[in-house]
Amino acid sequence: MYLYDDRDRCLLRERVRQFRDQTTRYLDGDLSEDQFRPLRLQNGLYIQRLAPMLRVSIPYGLIAARQLRRLAHIARTYDKGYAHFTTRQNIQFNWPQLPEVPDILVELAEVDMHAIQTSGNCIRNITSDEFAGIAPDEVEDPRPWCELVRRWSTFHPEFAYLPRKFKIAVSGSASDRAAIQVHDIGLQLVKNAEGALGFQVYVGGGLGRTPVIGEVIGEFIEPRHLLTYLEAILRVYNRYGRRDNKYKARIKILVKAWGAEVFAARVAAEWEHLRDGPNTLTEADFAQVRQFFTAPAYEAVDLAVAEALVSACAAAERAFARWLERNVRAHRVPGYCAVVLSLKPVGVAPGDVTDAQLDAIADLADRYAFGEARVTHHQNLVLADVRRDDLPELWRALKAQGFATPTIGTLSDIICCPGGDFCSLANAKSIPIAEAIQREFDDLDYLYDLGDLTLNISGCMNACGHHHVGNIGILGVDKKGEEFYQIQIGGEAGSRATLGQVLGPSFYAPEVPGIIARILDVYVQRRHDGETFIETFRRLGVEPFKDSVYAKAA
């Protein structure tokens, strides 16, 4: 992974000093509430329902063991002993005290971490594929490009006061695991007919109040032009994006208003001026950054021995076999695999971990995965480079720590925002809904029979739980002070990104698990052999599901 040099560290020290000074001036009354707001937000600090919330950046989800240990220490020292992984591969602390935040930043900077641009109307953390660099279907490793975009966007002087927040995701595989089509900019690495590398550029995707799938405005942008092309998009948005209404301020609204063709033409015209300018990337830039994303020192694994060991354990322990099926993923290097650590055990808010668990993950990463872990946008973690003959031992260790829930990719692997329990924006609670669903569908055989199925929950229309792109999406709504839940189905993230369709009138919380059961019944009864939920939905359309959910009791 990327390692900081003296320049990076100097910049972080200057940032800590700057934020300490800003916090002091705010507490002394020299900065107004309004002025301090964008400053603290661009440092990931929200004022929440119960206490401030500090969001710490994990660039494109990569984190080292020593950084995990420091996060554990911060959770213990400044928080109530836990932290929360987000859908944008970041981590949040829910209880820090404002005057202590500069001290937390010092602690973070010591391990090359920060909270820069994790909120506010600026370019946010660059997100990517948790299987970057190891996925068998990868065209090109997205991480070096993420790192180049990260640097370019960090403290970009022109784009710190955009009309609204701005999210960029990069995918290097044909099957998009970074949900790039629902980002403000989605970058898809592609190869042209001559085998040369380039970027297909999506723009104007996003969820929230107005969910939109992004449109391609650049079919093939050469790597050296990546940053100048991004700069052209951002400049057009900064100048012409709406600033009169925060709900109409995202780039997607501008792209819709102009149409993708006009928007693309405006970007192309701007780019004519910026192209080949000082932010043009060079071979030296590529080489400098690629050296940090080389393969770790893989060992030769005796494949026959490893498979015999894994098979024997699977035969002896049903739970291991289940875990192997759902939580272990393919790796491009023979003898290795990627292991997904589930942060979705029943009864725990999705994405939550304790300080002790963070320490444990660090130890496991050191022992089994070259000291590195990755955060997924599904709010789980991945150990990306695990020897297959270590799997039985690792599984036991994960089980002891509560990370071996064998439900990755199933209905129970719910993406869920913090909701009304924590968030001041939420209309309704979301965590208790996730728990109720997990409890209702706790039979593993049934979950496995349902197969790959995504369920997403957002506590309000800001859609932090990405409910629009869940196969089943649940949205908390407020009606005259009462919490209700609207259900939609048919959404999908990934390369066939689709927005779900609302079923109809919303439900009380206690009704939700029963409604989900009715939806699943339609799928189970009407699926063809081998068809996933989303495939059945596409074939049948929404009507049979609607009929079942709203059928009067006979």
Partner 1 sequence: MPKLLKARDFAIDAWQRFDGDVARIAGGDALLFPLPVWLAQRDTLLAREASRTGIWLNGDEEPEQIAADIRRFGCVAVNFPAFMDGRGFSCGRLLRERYGFRGELRAVGDIFVDQLHFLRRCGFDAFELPDDASLDVALNCLDAFSIHYQAACDPA
Q: Write out the residues near partner 1 by the rule CB under 8 A.
A: 7-8, 10-11, 14-15, 18, 21-22, 25, 30-31, 35, 38-39, 121, 151-152, 154-163, 227, 235, 238-239, 243, 273, 277-279
| Residue 450: CB minimum distance to partner 1, A | 46
Handedness of CA 82, 87, 91, 97 (dihedral sign): negative
> Phi/psi of residue 288, each to 5°?
-60, -45
> Which one, of 382, 392, 384, lies nearest residue 342 by Cα?
382
State how beta strands 197-203 and 91-93 pair. unpaired
Query: In terms of CB distance, is 38 or 409 closer to partner 1?
Result: 38
Which CB atom, from 273 or from 396, has the smaller least distance to partner 1? 273
For the bound state, the minimum distance from the C-beta of residue 291 to partner 1, rounded and expressed in Å, comes to 18
Look at residue 419 and give its three-state secondary structure. helix
- Residue in this structure with the two tokens 């491009």, named with its chain if needed: 332
Cβ proximity to partner 1: between 35 and 97 the closer is: 35
- Please give the torsion angle defined by the CA atoms of residues 135, 138, 141 and 145, in that order, rounded to the nearest 10 degrees: -130
Query: Nearest approach, Cβ of 318 to partner 1 (angstroms)?
Result: 51
Complex with partner 1: residue 144 or 459, whichever CB lies closer = 144
Instruction: Using CB atoms within 10 Å of the CB of residue 29, give its burial: 0 to 12 exposed, 13 to 18 middle, 19+ buried.
Output: exposed
- Contact between residue 534 and residue 473 where contact means Cβ atoms under 8 Å apart: no
Cα 528 to Cα 534: distance, rounded to the nearest angstrom: 12
CB 264 to partner 1: min, Å: 19
Which stretch of DSSP H or E encloses residue 440?
helix 431-440
Q: Given the complex with partner 1, which of 120 and 491 has the nearer CB atom?
A: 120
* Shortest reach from residue 51's CB to partner 1, in Å: 24
Report the residue number, 31 or 328, with the smaller CB distance to partner 1: 31
Residue 302: partners with Cβ closer than 8 Å, 6 or more residues away: 335, 389
* Cα–Cα dist 522/518, whole Å: 6
Q: How far is the CB of 112 from partner 1 (least distance, A)?
A: 14
User: Given the complex with partner 1, which of 123 and 417 has the nearer CB atom?
Assistant: 123
Closer to partner 1 by CB, 75 or 123: give it: 123
Instruction: CB nearer to partner 1: give 47 or 309.
Output: 47
Beta carbon of residue 297, minimum distance to partner 1 (angstroms, whole number): 30
- What is the Cβ-side half-sphere exposure of residue 354, based on CA atoms within 13 angstroms? 7
- Considering the complex, what minimum distance in angstroms separates the CB of residue 288 from partner 1? 13
Residue 121: CB minimum distance to partner 1, A: 7
Contact 446/467 with Cβ under 8 angstroms? no
Q: Which is nearer to partner 1, 286 or 448 (CB)?
A: 286
d(CA 516, CA 440): 10
Least separation in angstroms between residue 333's CB and partner 1 is 33
In angstroms, give the least distance from the CB of 32 to partner 1.
9
Q: Count the neighbouring beta carbons within 10 Å of the beta carbon of residue 544.
A: 16
CA dist 211 and 205 (Å) reads 7
Q: Hey, is 44 helix, strand or coil?
A: coil
Residues 6 or more apart whose Cβ sits within 8 Å of residue 461: 208, 209, 427, 475, 477
Q: How many Cβ atoms from other residues are within 10 Å of residue 420's Cβ?
A: 21
Task: Report the nearest approach of partner 1 to the CB of residue 35 (Å).
Answer: 5
CA dist., res. 357 & res. 337, Å (int): 22
Judged by CB, which is closer to partner 1: 156, or 538? Answer: 156
How buried is 245 (Cβ within 10 angstroms: 0-12 exposed, 13-18 middle, 19+ buried)? Answer: exposed
Shortest Å distance, C-beta 352 to partner 1: 33
Given the complex with partner 1, which of 229 and 320 has the nearer CB atom?
229
With vertex at residue 50, the alpha carbon angle to CA 476 and CA 509, rounded to the nearest 5 degrees, is 25
CA distance 551 to 554: 8
Compare residues 238 and 357 and give the one whose CB is closer to partner 1: 238
Residue 22: CB minimum distance to partner 1, A: 6
From CA 105, how far away is CA 98, in angstroms rounded? 11
Nearest CB to partner 1, comparing residues 64 and 227: 227
Asked whether the beta carbons of 177 and 454 are under 8 A apart, the reply is no
